[in-house]
Amino acid sequence: QIQCNFIVVIHPGSMTLRIGRATDTLPVSIPHVIARRHKQQGQLTFKDSWLLREGLNKPESPEQRQNGLKMVDQAIWSKKMSNGARRIPVSPDQVRSYNRQMRPAILDHSSGTKWTNTTHHPAYLIGEEALYVNPLDCYNVHWPIRRGQLNLHSGPGGSLTAVLADLEVIWSHAIQKYLEIPLKDLKYYRCILLIPDIYNKQHVKEVVNMILMKMGFSGIVVHQESVCATFGSGLGSACVVDVGDQKTSVCCVEDGVSHRNTRLCLAYGGSDVSRCFYWLMQRAGFPYRDCQLAKRTDCLLLQHLKETFCHLDQDLSGLQDHEFQVRHPDSPALLYQLRLGDEKLQAPMALFYPAMFGIVGQKMTSLQQRSQGDSEDPHDEHYLLATQSKQEQSAKATADRKSMSKPGGFEGDLRGQSSGIAENLYPPEVELGTSHSDCIIGGNDSEEQLTAHMSRKTAVSQFEGKALGLDKAILHSIDCCASDDTKKKMYSSILVVGGGLMFHKAQEFLQHRILNKMPPSFRRVVENVEVITRPKDMDPRLIAWKGGAVLACLDTTQELWIYQREWQRFGVRMLRERAAFVW
């Protein structure tokens, strides 16, 4: 029996790293950020942005924002309050003049917060310390993960090597400081790594290599966040909706298997809501005029204001007076009065009407991509497709159509022999959609199959350019399930995890929208649409990590471990062999 206190569970998010021993009740949560000291004097300072992103300042952005806001206002007006009355809309003009004349009160001449002390010139700073590095200090600030993927870019620190080095330093620092494990002892420990459902194979391979070969863990199990979320909440099956700071992912999980063609990743999350709330408050004459989205301290403040004020409760209407404090290093503590109307409800509704984010010309929706192939793993699905005869292909296509109605047929079930070769012989791509033509392309490029393949490609790229609202994404994901039985299961178990939808009354709001939009045929047969936002009364941000800890202690996990010496010898082929999902 493996000792769970010698297993470290790592759940790396875009905003927060959660890490702890599998036996810990709660993980340590730290901002997933590093500040690195400049190597030379006079070097230009580079900072990864947080609330700012590409595509916000396009000529079409303001109009798109306004259109999104119109749709939100229409939705707010059309849904009655619980007493049957309509909400009385509040225009920002009513509060603007009041907010504009507000001047802050000085609470204290010192704010009580300080910039991180760097007099001993540390080479790097992690987490909170990195967030509070004085912008005038000679440090570059990097977030190694953005929108759930490795943050590769052409700027300083944006190469794959640099990002992996950042991850290694942040994780090693957290293990030493918070888990109090000396790095030289990691050879006695194993690691469970949570990865996104739509993952980049090359990146997962590099991170696994870093954990085993550089950090020196003795073994690793890699598993998907959504499946871990079902373990953490104790649900057998669920449509898992993970709303993070930077991205929102949706997919349907059944008995420990995430169905590949139900996976969607939306390129927006909590930080977009914070920025949208700031825009709405500015329209209402936000009294803290020095606020800047490029400053980390202001980003922290805006995130706090969103978490404090925003809600999804149709019954809270009319004007309300609020106050908030601004406590920045090297400045006095200030108290502001602020009057707000509908802004607090409009901002979180942008998750359902993402046009309101004003993001133009960016890829907003991703589906599971085909892998590009890996020279170290020659016997992958491309090889299998290329070596099949036409009879095998047509027989396989028929078998796949049948297995589509028997869910769980494709992926090594956690309870079954997950490392068996059998399921690895079948390319997983049949799950990508209902069009089987592109499974057959490998060996026989007849005209019509190619056109079917191409038309699917254009459909996918058109689909990916659009930003789907959260409710539409959930309906789309459930609709991609193989059988009506599975769809029914998913409607009655929609699990919301992550920190991006923790608004008052979010559960009722989402439930109402799904009920209103689901296909009528299902409305008759699904007894109850259930949205679960706090399973077992747990913090939704920790559920996936908790599931990783559950996985660590299961008997069936024993055959999933990939050990350092095996990785050295076989490399990425071990992931195809051992992963509890189709690699």
Which pLDDT does position 434 carry in this prediction? Answer: 34
Helix (H) or strand (E) holding 280: helix 270-283
| Rounded Cα gap, residues 127 and 149, in angstroms | 19
Task: Give pLDDT, residue 388.
Answer: 66
Which residues lie closer than 8 Å to 447 by C-beta, 6 or more apart?
Answer: none
Average pLDDT over residues 565-580: 95
pLDDT of res. 137: 93
**What's the rounded mean pLDDT across residues 189-200?**
96
pLDDT score recorded for residue 416: 34
Question: 3-class DSSP state for residue 545?
Answer: helix
pLDDT of residue 446: 45
Q: How high is the pLDDT of residue 439?
A: 33
pLDDT at 435: 33
The pLDDT of residue 547: 97
The CA distance from 137 to 393, in Å, is: 62
Are 36 and 123 in contact, with CB atoms under 8 Å apart? Answer: yes
Q: Give me the pLDDT at residue 168, please.
A: 98
* pLDDT of res. 521: 87
Other C-beta atoms closer than 10 Å to the C-beta of 529 total 19
Residue type, 377: D
Q: How far apart are CA 546 and CA 179, in angstroms?
A: 16
- Summarised one tens digit per residue, pLDDT across range 113-133 is 999 999 999 999 999 999 999
What's the pLDDT band for 308 if we cut at 50, 70, 90?
very high
Rounded Cα distance between 30 and 501, Å, is 20
The residue written with tokens 């004349």 in the block is 101
Higher pLDDT, 321 or 40: 321
Query: How confident is the model over 472-490, as a mean pLDDT?
Result: 95
Determine phi and psi for 292, rounding to 5 degrees: -135, 130
Q: Do 549 and 24 meet the contact criterion of CB atoms below 8 Å apart?
A: yes
Q: At residue 479, does pLDDT exceed 70?
A: yes
Question: Using 50, 70 and 90 to split pLDDT, how confident is the model at 64?
Answer: very high
Q: Is the pLDDT of residue 249 over 80?
A: yes
- Which tops the pLDDT comparison, 547 or 436? 547
Distance of alpha carbon 226 from alpha carbon 263, whole angstroms: 10
What residues pair up with 191 in beta bridges, in sequence order?
8, 220
Confidence of residue 273 (pLDDT cuts 50, 70, 90): very high
Percent of the chain with pLDDT over 70: 84
The single-letter code of the amino acid at 191 is C
Phi-psi region of 551 (alpha: psi -120 to 50; beta: other; left: phi over 0): alpha
Average pLDDT, the chain: 88
Instruction: Output the pLDDT for position 87.
Output: 86
The pLDDT, as a whole number, for residue 16 is 98
Specify the pLDDT at position 93: 87
**pLDDT at residue 532 greater than cutoff 70:** yes
Buried b / exposed e along 94-126 (16+ C-beta atoms within 10 A)? ebbebbeebebeeeeeebeeebbebeeeeebbb
Q: Which residue has the tokens 């195809």?
A: 576
pTM of the predicted protein model: 0.86
> By C-alpha distance, which of 433, 444, 426, 419 is closest to 384?
426
The residue-averaged pLDDT of 330-349 equals 96
Question: pLDDT-derived band of residue 433, with 50, 70 and 90 as boundaries?
Answer: very low
Do 501 and 287 meet the contact criterion of CB atoms below 8 Å apart?
A: no
* Predicted local confidence at residue 285, as pLDDT: 96
271 — pLDDT class (breaks 50, 70, 90): very high
Could you report the per-residue pLDDT of 394-418, keeping only the tens digit for each? 666 666 655 454 433 333 333 333 3
The per-residue pLDDT for 393 is 67
pLDDT in tens, 212-248: 999 999 999 999 999 999 999 999 999 999 999 999 9
| Higher per-residue confidence, 148 vs 446 | 148
Q: Give the chain's radius of gyration (CA, Å).
A: 25
Give the separation between CA 101 and CA 287, rounded to whole angstroms. 8
Rounded to the nearest 5 degrees, what angle is found at the Cα of 451, between the Cα atoms of 445 and 457?
110
Burial (Cβ within 10 Å: 0-12, 13-18, ≥19) of residue 488? middle
Residue 3 has pLDDT above 50, yes or no: yes
The CA distance from 438 to 440, in Å, is: 5
pLDDT tens for residues 372-396? 667 777 666 666 666 666 666 666 6
CA 207 to chain CA centroid, Å, is: 18
Q: How confident is the model at residue 421 (pLDDT cuts 50, 70, 90)?
A: very low
At 395 the pLDDT is: 65
With cut-offs at 50, 70 and 90, classify the pLDDT of residue 257.
Answer: very high
Alpha carbon 90 to its chain's center = 33
